[in-house]
Amino acid sequence: MLRRAFLCLTLTGMAFGVPAPEWLPQQDLSRRQEFLDRQSDWRNGAVVYQIFVDRFAPSRHLAQKRSLYAAPRHLRDWSENPQAGSYLKEAGVWSHEVDYWGGDLDSVRSRLDYLQDLGVEVVYLNPIFESLTNHKYDAWDYHKVDPVYGSRQDVADLAADLHGRKMKLMLDGVFNHVGKRSPYLKEHPDFFKWVNGQPVSWLDVENLPELQLENPKVRDFLYGSPTSVVQSYLRQEKIDGWRLDVAFDLGFRYLSELTRAAHEARPGCDIIGEIWNYPEDWYPAVDGVMNMHGRIVLLRLLEGKVRGPVASAMWESMVADSGYEHLLKAWLVLDNHDTPRLNHILKQNWQVEMARTLQFTLPGSPVIYYGSELDLPGGDDPANRAPMRWELATEQNKMLALHRKLLKIRAGEPALRIGDFRRLHSDKAFAFLRKTLSAKETIVVAANPGDQPIEEFLQLRDGKLQDVTRMVDLLGSSVAPTIYGGSIEIRLQPHQVVVLKPDVSPMPKGYDRYDRMP
């Protein structure tokens, strides 16, 4: 209920987390509209759930679809796990790329109650275009959905269902390359660069001829005209945005053109670039990046390869360099279809739990890769693309319980979605503060990834926090420091993380005189 109430307030633009003007100090008045704009923009800090369509939920119509999985495709039983296969020379792909489990857009729609109850706000689908492989990064025809997944009408129906739940839908745009069986190679040979009678391929992958974006016809076809790929799905199926594959290869000019065209087609949509680089300079060419730099800093912190204070300083530098409005929209990814699952990268349960806690409290949109909330295992491709194990979605699943707790906390705390980020100076911990214009909403996060207890003196960089205010850990621990002189002292056990909030019930004297809501 907390998540739904917050989302409703956000979507309607009502004041939440922003005190009335007459109760603000002079220096905050100029920022009030900034915070109102942040909270009314669904892209800021939204919880994203990534779905590999073939593997998310069993089809309800598999019997009618079996003919669609003719060789070289191979339909597997849902109980099987993916295995690395052999190279199929004639098809130009590996056999595990054409192994299917039968999921489709209709089966995704059948599980929306689960996603909504979990607290998901944005559903992001891996590519769905007509193509040979299960991953569909080798599109044949962008304007067609592969029949194994459904049709464009199914996309429209899924978008409508999600919108009825106050949720959003984003598709994966693979506009750097197509599949070698694409009719575009014959119909539009000038879309490609040819050498010795063969199209130049992305990273020399035989199955992925690269599009020549320097050709204005290609750009018009992909995003420039109202009937282009990017614009047509936004206008007709009413999707809410695109995640752009290998966006760093597209370059600033073409990304900027695409983003402008998308916003003209559907104002307020979201364009997210797969950028593995440092996130500086990419905004406003895209609305946000996949924050893979933030990811690697967190992983190295939890692996013990970088100390907490250094990691927090790196985040502070990234925020300063990249622009905060951009980072609020950036997707903070810890695992996805291109990486091993988090529980394969981080071997200890406490590491995974701390990583998720930090992911859900740092700036940006946290991304959950389907099944990771259930502790679904998976190493390198194709093991990281196993079918969803719905039998794990029980009340006894500790990882699912952790995700539900973190999502409930996030839904009730505006600072975690739209609040500023301030690094907290520390000798040993990874520590930071999130704040809105209301001190009652300030959140302090401190993590001890080490194997020894630590005691920390933390300067609280929020001048509205009242002296002798007690702070409580939203995660439920007994850590409950009292603010003295704008600071707290805390003791953290090995591998412990706390999410502290001022206890203003009953209201300490002073807050009611400068921190009132409208």
- Give the whole-angstrom CA distance, residue 247 versus residue 228: 18
Burial class (CB in 10 A: 0-12, 13-18, 19+), 131: buried
Region class of 339: left (phi > 0), else alpha (psi between -120 and 50), else beta: beta
Long-range contacts of 480-488 (CB under 8 A, 24+ apart): 486/459, 486/460, 487/457, 487/458, 487/459, 487/460, 488/444, 488/457, 488/458, 488/460
Q: Which of 415, 417, 240, 414 lies closest to 329, judged by CA?
A: 417
Is residue 17 pLDDT above 80, yes or no?
no
* Residue whose tokens read 């997707």: 331
Name residue 504's amino acid.
V
pLDDT-above-70 percentage for the chain:
96
Give the range among 18-27, 88-97, 330-339 with minimum mean pLDDT. Answer: 18-27
Interval 30-36 mean pLDDT? 92
| Predicted pLDDT at 27 | 82
Is residue 9 pLDDT above 60, yes or no?
no
Q: 274 catalytic, yes or no?
A: yes
- Give the whole-angstrom CA distance, residue 115 versus residue 104: 16
Is residue 260 pLDDT above 80, yes or no?
yes
| Predicted pLDDT at 518 | 59
pLDDT tens per residue, range 467-498: 999 999 999 999 999 999 999 999 999 999 99
**Catalytic pick among 274, 335, 373, 462:** 274
CB atoms within 10 A of CB 149: 26
Q: Which of 340, 388, 331, 386 lies closest to 122, judged by CA?
A: 331
Name residue 376's amino acid.
L
Is residue 2 pLDDT above 50, yes or no?
no
Is residue 374 pLDDT above 70, yes or no?
yes
- Give the whole-angstrom CA distance, residue 112 versus residue 159: 11
Give the length of the chain. Answer: 518
CB atoms within 10 A of CB 434: 24
Cβ atoms of 169 and 158 within 8 Å: the answer is yes
pLDDT tens per residue, range 347-365: 999 999 999 999 999 999 9
Q: What is the pTM of this model?
A: 0.95
Is residue 316 pLDDT above 50, yes or no?
yes
Question: Can you read off the two tokens belonging to residue 22?
Answer: 């007459």
- Give the whole-angstrom CA distance, residue 376 versus residue 392: 8
Q: Which of 302, 247, 293, 295 lies closest to 271, judged by CA?
A: 247
Q: pLDDT tier at 252 (50, 70, 90 boundaries)?
A: very high
Q: What pairs with residue 337 in β-bridges?
A: none
Cβ atoms of 133 and 98 within 8 Å: the answer is yes
pLDDT tens per residue, range 168-184: 999 999 999 999 999 99
pLDDT tens per residue, range 199-215: 999 999 989 999 999 99
Cβ atoms of 29 and 102 within 8 Å: the answer is no
**Catalytic pick among 97, 138, 245, 413:** 245
- Give the whole-angstrom CA distance, residue 240 versus residue 472: 38
- Give the whole-angstrom CA distance, residue 151 versus residue 388: 22
Q: What are phi and psi of 500, to 5 degrees?
A: -95, 140
CB atoms within 10 A of CB 331: 27
Q: pLDDT tier at 28 (50, 70, 90 boundaries)?
A: confident
| Predicted pLDDT at 16 | 53
Q: 413 catalytic, yes or no?
A: no
Residue 471: which H helix or E strand, with range?
strand 471-473
| Predicted pLDDT at 515 | 77
* Residue whose tokens read 């739904």: 4
| Predicted pLDDT at 24 | 81
Write the DSSP symbol of residue 482. Answer: B
pLDDT tens per residue, range 426-455: 999 999 999 999 999 999 999 999 999 999
Is residue 5 pLDDT above 50, yes or no?
no
Q: What is the chain's mean pLDDT, rounded?
A: 94
Classify strands 443-448 and 496-502 as parallel, antiparallel or unpaired. Answer: antiparallel
| Predicted pLDDT at 13 | 34
pLDDT tens per residue, range 61-114: 999 999 999 999 999 999 999 999 999 998 999 999 999 999 999 999 999 999
Residue 9: which H helix or E strand, with range?
helix 2-12
Is residue 10 pLDDT above 70, yes or no?
no
